[in-house]
Structure 1
Amino acid sequence: MAQVHNDKYKPFPQVKLTDRQWPGKTIDKAPIWMSTDLRDGNQALFEPMNQQKKMEMFETLCRIGFKEIEIAFPSASETEFNFVRGLIEGGHIPDDVTIEVLTQAREHLIRRTFESLRGARRAIIHIYNATCPAFRDFVFGMSKAEVIKMAVDAVHLIRQLAAEMPETEIVLEYSPELFTATELEFAKEVCDAVTAAWGATPQRKVILNLPATVEVATPNVYADQIEWMHRHLARRDSVLISVHPHNDRGTAIAAAELGLMAGADRVEGCLFGNGERTGNVDLVTLALNLHTQGVDPQLDFSDINNVARVYEHCTQLPIHPRHPYAGDLVFTAFSGSHQDAIKKGFAAQKADATWAVPYLPIDPADVGRSYDSIIRVNSQSGKGGISYIMEHDYGIVMPRRLQVEFSGVVQRHADSHGGEISGEEIWQLFADTYLNAGAQVRYREHHLFEEGGQQAIRLGVDINGVAHNLNGVGNGPINAAMHALTSAGLQAQVRSYEERSMVPAGDDGNASAVAFIEMAASGCGECYGVGIDSNIVTASIKALVSGINRLPQSAPQKTA
């Protein structure tokens, strides 16, 4: 970027609010939510939604639980007008949902807007006019008095038209556009004039929407502006303060949260932050942020995947894979240390305890996500992630030293092939390394019996393709089988033995036994053998054979 003189951009002036209260506040209840996906969000699309997609989006917003939905700018086009009429005439608006429509503070646009609402049970008329110096001076050439008159005249007209349409309850919403760039004293003057013209009362409140139409300062400045208005507005008990943050500086979420701490009652925004330029505040993230703090957001995102699919279909905009809460990869860890911490956290997490799994700020199940893709493996992954997949997907809980050994196998594969390794690939590597290890010795069968107070075994194996029937005696089946294999010149020692049940994910009643035997041979180091069978003794003998095949050793000595 070309160098810009430091004096080209000046910091937005701080609000003179030395006794600000919002930093000490917390959000302890959900705000009034208003979705503008069908208006602000729709006008930001390179291909606006058609009637069918708008209806699908409207129904989805209702299912999520939005009680106020801005559905259109009906005076802007026949398409917008007809959509409003279709919702009303088709009886598609639930009784507990209030529709909202936007119009500029101009007489002919207001009259056309009222025409679109005939027959509605309840509706919010949202009017706006620009109030900041740049628009007053350069865009419209209006004085402050003219700006106030424009807003007040619009309110008088709305009162008149509402009285002529008594079957519809009309709620007034007013936005001083570019509020964040407007002098606070003047913003208050305009808003007070509007509430006075409407005759606002606690029973007939006005919604004063104070938008960050363009983000021009840090979120704390916006919070100061909201708190200043909250403390200085006339008829505060007859007003609902609404915030409508845009995301030009990338801080819309913070601005909305701090605005609520500063006294706002209501939030306007879109699913996944859709909207002009960098978008509106993301209502999904904002609501689920509340959820993580133990506050009921009053919106249902328990099937986040479905909401995301509808959004992407209707808007033709993709959701980033790392988008908070909803992205395909937000519950996925590739880093080895992260995977290890998540695995241990899941093992310790109790069903009725406070959620405390490392690196997961929310239980994926709360938004309808499964645990299947929480841990995925690539060249950055470690033993924790690999062992999690083996345990979660295939029911194999590996001893720690086997985790270390097998992670090296997976790491070498990842380094040589690149990219992500699927769970199926990890299982195949495990099977090739341990269950199908080598062809030197192959297990066929065994028979156990007692001999002289000890365990005896007749073991049938193939050694280098030649059938052998071996005999051994020991203090147990494994010791006897090891003696039988040693009699064929297969030299090894058992260093450790573990056995566990194995219940693959989704398999409720077909547990198998898995045996892990750590083995060593002189000058050959140590390695693991693994055996799986429905019978634990058979699994253990298979693990012995697996370990012998994996030990680098010379061919067995010829036996008589």
Structure 2
Amino acid sequence: MNNKKYKLATWVSLPDRQWPNKVIEKAPIWCSVDLRDGNQALAVPMSIPEKLELFNTLVKIGFKEIEVGFPAASDTEFNFLRKLIEENLIPQDVCVQVLTQSREPLIRKTFEALKGVKSAIVHLYNSTSPRQRKITFNKSRDEIKQIAIDGAKLVRKFADDAEADGSHIRMEYSPESFSDTELDYALEICEAVKEIWKPTVENKIIINLPETVQYTTPNIHADQIEWMSRNISEREKVLISLHTHNDRGTGVAATELGLMAGADRVEGTLFGNGERTGNLDVVTVALNMLAQGVEPNLDFSHLPEIRSIYERCTHMEVPPRQPYAGDLVFTAFSGSHQDAIKKGMDIRRKSECGDVWEVPYLLIDPEDIGRDYEAIIRINSQSGKGGVAYVLETEYGYDIPKAMHPEVGNFINDTADRLGKELSPEEILHLFKDEFVNRVDLLKINSYKISYGENSEDVSISAKVSYKGADMEISAKGNGPINAFVNALEIAGLKNFKIADYRSHAIGSGSASDSAAYISLINPETSITTWGAGVDSNIEYAGLKALVSAYNRYNKA
């Protein structure tokens, strides 16, 4: 490929950088830009009802700053903001944000749309990078800076008028394409805007430093953010804001390192919807914090519902492997993964691990974001014995013995491989029952009678059975029903095995629950074992059925 066509990104001279030694200990100020930056990236932008539904969802999640549109860009954007204000749909603790380029007609129109608002952020921007100055505007550094200054003066004037009418207006400035702008120039232009706005500690200016296009690795972005944070004057009067895109697929990483580098605020969208490869995925960053024990101050405990609303309003789809929200992110196909997850879940159910989440392969507890355990393990040809056992136990109550796991797992996986498909829990249950439970293809019990002697170990059984389609009666004594039945088979010349293992348990709870029994037969000559299972409301009969199932599988093999 023609790599000579591209040049290495500019590095930042910051030998005493501090961010590598920092950790994220608290959530930033979050600002959702779904209704503007996300909306403009849709093939069909949202209607006002769709925007309103998504706005209400963002409020419910906990966003206190929400960019609701570019009111000077279209009637829909303008009318949506007017609806929010005139119908008093903005909660008292939520500040709406509006976007405008640094142009007088757009700024004027923006403040017309804001008339009567209680609290708002006016987000002013103009492009500052060398490419934009040369190609888009054909203007010098001084001319581009003057565009920002003129816009800031207009915003200050209109904001003063709005304040006189009872509105509280805050200002945000973005040197668009900051990621490709010379740092000294970005600082110069931000200082010029700040001087006009005259922020205070109580009314800070937001300096948004957008990674409009990702040209560098996340560490260089962090260097840029730390450099600006350390060099801008009156830092206590400034909120440094991040707005990363995802051209290199590192929007989340760039944001996290930017927070370590001193940023106070983050702009992004739910699930990363945005131009080209998208904006920052706020859900991922927030839940990454949760996974580190940091309170994100956003409520994603009902994430499937949020995803459903998002997909309905935007007509976009969340990919199956999207972090946290995708259909498959809490799913394991690999056998070793499934086995480790099952063991981790078993320990949690026994309350042996305290409050700390320590389940292998699962970053967080799916339940914390409204997901469920049933979707964790799914079965295909790559799955293992633990996964099949987990599905049978969690979905249907079959606590099959660990020694039986390989035999069941191999059978199910071989079937999935032969069919070339993933198996649903219902299909797994059906296959398990057909192969292992209540098998009657060779030997079948038609009826039986058990009697007990004075000694509890003195048990007699008489049974009418079918063997290869021929009816016969067998009987014997033993130290229990199963032992007596085995002895009866031996007398009839049908015993060619030894019992290696026997287990039983109730399926479900209550007097009407069934019992499941599992029996393993071993070949005395080869030491190969064969398992069978039986299910019945009578625990004794469940055991006999398990023996017959194992016998039929043993002799079929």
| TM-score when normalising by structure 1 | 0.95
Question: For residue 486 of structure 2, what is the aligned residue in structure 1?
Answer: 482
Residue aligned with 1:551, SS: helix
Contact 2:333 2:382 in 1 (8 A): yes
Structure 1 unaligned segments of length 5 or more: list them. Answer: 555-560
Q: Number of aligned residue pairs: give it.
A: 549
* Higher alpha-carbon deviation: 226-235 or 352-361: 352-361
Structure 2 vs 1, CA of residues 229 and 173 (structure 1 numbering), >3 Å: closer, same or farther?
same
Question: For residue 390 of structure 1, what is the aligned residue in structure 2?
Answer: 392
Cα separation, 2, equivalents of 1:200 and 1:143 = 28
Residue aligned with 1:149, SS: helix
Residue aligned with 2:555, SS: coil
Cα separation, 2, equivalents of 1:515 and 1:436 = 10
- Map 1:123-522 to 2 at 5 A: 123-165=120-162, 166=164, 167-349=166-348, 350=351, 352-451=354-453, 453=455, 454-504=458-508, 510-521=512-523
User: Structure 1 residue aligned with 2:112, among 102, 110, 115?
Assistant: 115
The code of the aligned residue for 1:332 comes to: T
How far apart are 1:449 and its partner, in Å?
Answer: 2.1
Structure 2 vs 1, CA of residues 455 and 389 (structure 1 numbering), >3 Å: closer, same or farther?
same
CA deviations over 1:247-270 (Å, ceiling 9, x no partner): 011111010000000000000011
Contact 1:180 1:215 in 2 (8 A): yes
- Map 1:96-115 to 2 at 5 A: 96-115=93-112
Structure 2 vs 1, CA of residues 82 and 76 (structure 1 numbering), >3 Å: closer, same or farther?
same
How far apart are 1:420 and its partner, in Å?
Answer: 0.3
How far apart are 1:89 and its partner, in Å?
Answer: 0.9
1:62 equivalenced with 2:59 (yes/no): yes
Identity %: 50
The code of the aligned residue for 1:209 comes to: N
CA deviations over 1:150-181 (Å, ceiling 9, x no partner): 21222221221122222110000000011111
How far apart are 1:548 and its partner, in Å?
Answer: 1.9
How far apart are 1:455 and its partner, in Å?
Answer: 1.6
Contact 1:490 1:548 in 2 (8 A): no
Question: For residue 53 of structure 1, what is the aligned residue in structure 2?
Answer: 50
* Higher alpha-carbon deviation: 303-312 or 486-495: 486-495
- Map 1:525-540 to 2 at 5 A: 525-540=528-543
The code of the aligned residue for 1:399 comes to: P
Contact 1:176 1:210 in 2 (8 A): yes
How far apart are 1:553 and its partner, in Å?
Answer: 6.9
Contact 2:498 2:524 in 1 (8 A): no
The code of the aligned residue for 1:381 comes to: S
How far apart are 1:510 and its partner, in Å?
Answer: 4.7
How far apart are 1:210 and its partner, in Å?
Answer: 0.3
Cα separation, 2, equivalents of 1:262 and 1:159 = 30
Residue aligned with 1:163, SS: helix
Contact 1:494 1:517 in 2 (8 A): no
Cα separation, 1, equivalents of 2:289 and 2:153 = 39
Question: For residue 94 of structure 1, what is the aligned residue in structure 2?
Answer: 91
Contact 1:220 1:255 in 2 (8 A): yes
Contact 2:46 2:313 in 1 (8 A): yes
Contact 2:438 2:546 in 1 (8 A): no
Cα separation, 2, equivalents of 1:216 and 1:440 = 71
CA RMSD of aligned residues (A): 1.8
Contact 2:35 2:55 in 1 (8 A): yes
CA deviations over 1:422-442 (Å, ceiling 9, x no partner): 111111111111224242222
Residue aligned with 1:448, SS: strand
Cα separation, 1, equivalents of 2:485 and 2:428 = 30
CA deviations over 1:394-441 (Å, ceiling 9, x no partner): 211222331111222112211221110111111111111122424222
How far apart are 1:203 and its partner, in Å?
Answer: 1.2
Structure 2 vs 1, CA of residues 90 and 152 (structure 1 numbering), >3 Å: closer, same or farther?
same
How far apart are 1:273 and its partner, in Å?
Answer: 0.6
User: Structure 1 residue aligned with 2:35, among 9, 34, 38?
Assistant: 38
How far apart are 1:544 and its partner, in Å?
Answer: 1.5
Cα separation, 1, equivalents of 2:138 and 2:434 = 78
The code of the aligned residue for 2:60 comes to: R
Cα separation, 2, equivalents of 1:66 and 1:450 = 72
How far apart are 1:451 and its partner, in Å?
Answer: 4.3
Contact 2:506 2:515 in 1 (8 A): yes
Cα separation, 1, equivalents of 2:196 and 2:412 = 72
Cα separation, 1, equivalents of 2:378 and 2:208 = 44
CA deviations over 1:125-167 (Å, ceiling 9, x no partner): 0000111112222221222222222212222212211222221
How far apart are 1:229 and its partner, in Å?
Answer: 0.6
CA deviations over 1:260-313 (Å, ceiling 9, x no partner): 000000000111111011111100101000000000101111111111111111
Cα separation, 1, equivalents of 2:142 and 2:511 = 79
Structure 2 vs 1, CA of residues 300 and 508 (structure 1 numbering), >3 Å: closer, same or farther?
farther
How far apart are 1:238 and its partner, in Å?
Answer: 0.5
CA deviations over 1:179-199 (Å, ceiling 9, x no partner): 111111111111111111111
Residue aligned with 2:4, SS: coil
Residue aligned with 1:164, SS: helix
Structure 2 unaligned segments of length 5 or more: list them. Answer: none
Question: For residue 558 of structure 1, what is the aligned residue in structure 2?
Answer: none
User: Structure 2 residue aligned with 1:541, among 536, 544, 551?
Assistant: 544
The code of the aligned residue for 1:352 comes to: G
Residue aligned with 1:80, SS: helix
The code of the aligned residue for 2:51 comes to: K
The code of the aligned residue for 1:529 comes to: G
